[in-house]
């Protein structure tokens, strides 16, 4: 006679839980019944409360209890393949889709995404965008070069010519020596404004540019002003360079660092907002930005993560054209026009060569008065109006995040988290792909086990 044990245990259908603490009972296998779906007879004066039965090496679910007559009951059973063959299941390597192991790398696409977003920011101030400087392209005594000047100096660069004219011709009593000096300077300064080839305003203080402090001359005319002459023939030496490292304001520590859960934006001065792909840098902690300000007015940004991933290269303009001076007078042109009238038909050369001292004085006075009368203020514009942004600017990083509707770890016990790897089943929820158990079970039992494992079971 076979031994029978009955259990009253709480168990899920797709669980490998093996019942314990069973009670030995007097059961009879109904004749003509299936071994996998048996019907057992039980004599009991009370309605049986039984959930599982064990006999002949198998566990069975009790699917139904039928009253045959007084004190005789039928237990309709079905084999519990997960409890019966638990050892075989745990020994079978399989491709596991989901299980209860911690997961921070694989995206769980089963979860929904919230519409609401959260934004986090981190910023780092630049060290070079802290002032202003004007880069002036000049043809002077030292050849053609780019001079870095303070705004207050660049603004009066051409005005120094007018100041010289005022100081020279206000004194009419110095007679011939003063006139001779004036004419020499007129010849020297006749094309002075044409010696300014460009002028650009930069949001970079003069201290950051590398060069040699040199007196600024327009052609042969000495302005009395000084600027920093950038080194010729070496583009890198003419640039201003800075490196900034900024922490990434991650809002998640797992696969939600990927898009579409997290979007990362980098804000660069003068360049605006650029989107950075998050997939290549989910393990990165910071981004380094190299800033290269060129003397031609362009600025180049190169960004890479602390993990060595190149993120991009962007070029924009950080400078603007700049107006120089407020009184652009070409003294030589004025002198030529005056020479045909104020000094008579003989012109300027005759006036200087006059043999009479009084004649010389008269000629000189005529020249001086003529120049003064023609000296009207004319706007000199090398380029256009400035629009450079002032102040200490920042490089900023933004993460814009859409979280999942529930925390990913919260579903691990119920439906696991992504695994996508070959492994043997472990405790907790396990869902496999193409599970194939082996053992001395019937083919129906084998097929049922494989189907249950691919649908998801609880290893308990």
Collect all residues with Cβ–Cβ distance below 8 Å to 166 and sequence separation of at least 6: none
Query: What's the pLDDT score for residue 93?
Result: 97
Q: State yes or no: pLDDT of 360 exceeds 50.
A: no
- How far is 241 from 230, CA to CA, in rounded Å? 14
Q: What is the mean pLDDT of residues 1-30?
A: 91
Query: What's the pLDDT score for residue 124?
Result: 94
Query: What's the pLDDT score for residue 231?
Result: 79
Weakest-pLDDT range from 203-217, 221-235, 402-416: 221-235
Confidence bin at 365 (pLDDT 50/70/90): very low
Virtual torsion, Cα 107, 112, 118, 123, nearest 10 deg: 20
Beta strands in 70-192 (DSSP E): 72-79, 94-99, 118-125, 133-140, 143-149
Helix axes 331-339, 175-189, angle to 10 degrees: 120
- How far is 430 from 192, CA to CA, in rounded Å? 85
- Positive or negative torsion for Cα 175, 177, 182, 187: positive
Confidence bin at 336 (pLDDT 50/70/90): very low
Q: What is the mean pLDDT of residues 108-137?
A: 93
What percent of the chain shows pLDDT beyond 70?
76
**pTM of full prediction above 0.85:** no
Burial 370-399 (b: 16+ CB within 10 A, else e): bbeeebeeeebebbeebebeeeebbbbbbb
Neighbouring C-alpha atoms within 13 Å toward the C-beta of 459: 21
Query: What's the pLDDT score for residue 340?
Result: 33
Listed ranges 21-30, 366-375, 434-443; the one with the highest mean pLDDT? 434-443
Query: What's the pLDDT score for residue 366?
Result: 34
Collect all residues with Cβ–Cβ distance below 8 Å to 163 and sequence separation of at least 6: none
Query: What's the pLDDT score for residue 349?
Result: 33
What separation in angstroms does the CA of 338 have from each of 199, 221, 373? Answer: 32, 22, 10
pLDDT tens digit sequence for 143-181 = 788 899 998 888 888 766 655 555 554 545 554 555 555
Q: State yes or no: pLDDT of 423 exceeds 70.
A: yes
What separation in angstroms does the CA of 204 have from each of 132, 208, 271, 384, 425? Answer: 5, 7, 16, 19, 63
- How far is 115 from 195, CA to CA, in rounded Å? 61
């Amino acid at each position: 006679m076979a031994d029978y044990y009955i259990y009253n245990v709480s168990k899920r259908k797709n669980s490998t839980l093996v019942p314990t603490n069973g009670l030995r009972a007097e059961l009879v296998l109904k004749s003509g019944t299936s071994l996998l779906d048996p019907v057992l007879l039980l004599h009991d004066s009370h309605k049986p409360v039984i959930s599982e039965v064990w006999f002949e090496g198998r566990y069975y679910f009790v699917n139904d209890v039928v009253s045959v007559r007084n004190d005789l009951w039928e237990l309709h059973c079905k084999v519990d393949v997960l409890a019966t063959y638990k050892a075989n299941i745990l020994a079978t390597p399989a491709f596991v889709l989901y299980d209860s192991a911690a997961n921070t790398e694989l995206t769980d696409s089963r979860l929904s995404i919230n519409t609401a977003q959260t934004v986090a920011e981190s910023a780092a101030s630049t060290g070079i965008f802290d002032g202003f400087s004007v880069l002036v392209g000049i043809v002077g005594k030292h050849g053609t070069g780019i001079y870095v000047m303070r705004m207050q100096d660049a603004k009066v660069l051409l005005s120094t010519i007018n100041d010289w004219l005022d100081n020279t011709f206000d004194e009419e009593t110095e007679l011939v020596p003063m006139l001779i000096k004036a004419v020499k300077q007129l010849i020297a300064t006749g094309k002075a404004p044409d010696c300014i080839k460009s002028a650009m305003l930069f949001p970079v203080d003069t201290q950051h540019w590398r060069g040699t402090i040199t007196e600024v001359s327009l052609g042969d005319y000495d302005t009395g002003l000084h600027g920093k002459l950038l080194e010729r023939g070496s583009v890198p030496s003419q640039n201003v360079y800075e490196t900034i490292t900024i922490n990434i304001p991650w809002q998640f520590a797992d696969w939600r660092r990927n898009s579409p859960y997290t979007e990362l934006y980098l804000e660069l001065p003068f360049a605006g907002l650029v989107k950075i792909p998050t997939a290549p840098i989910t393990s990165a902690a910071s981004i380094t930005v190299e800033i290269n300000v060129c003397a031609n007015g362009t600025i180049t940004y190169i960004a890479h993560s602390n993990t060595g991933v190149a993120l991009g290269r962007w070029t924009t303009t950080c400078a603007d054209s700049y107006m120089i001076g407020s009184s652009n007078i070409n003294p030589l042109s004025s002198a030529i026009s005056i020479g045909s009238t104020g000094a008579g038909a003989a012109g300027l050369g005759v006036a200087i060569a006059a043999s009479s001292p009084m004649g010389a004085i008269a000629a000189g006075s005529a020249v001086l008065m003529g120049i003064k009368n023609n000296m009207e203020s004319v706007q000199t514009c090398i380029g256009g109006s400035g629009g450079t942004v002032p102040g200490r600017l920042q490089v900023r990083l933004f993460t814009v995040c859409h979280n999942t509707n529930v925390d990913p770890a919260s579903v691990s016990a119920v439906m696991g988290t992504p695994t996508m790897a070959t492994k043997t089943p472990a405790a907790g929820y396990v869902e496999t792909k193409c599970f194939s158990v082996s053992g001395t079970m019937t083919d129906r039992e084998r097929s049922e086990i494989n189907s249950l494992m691919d649908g998801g079971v609880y290893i308990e």
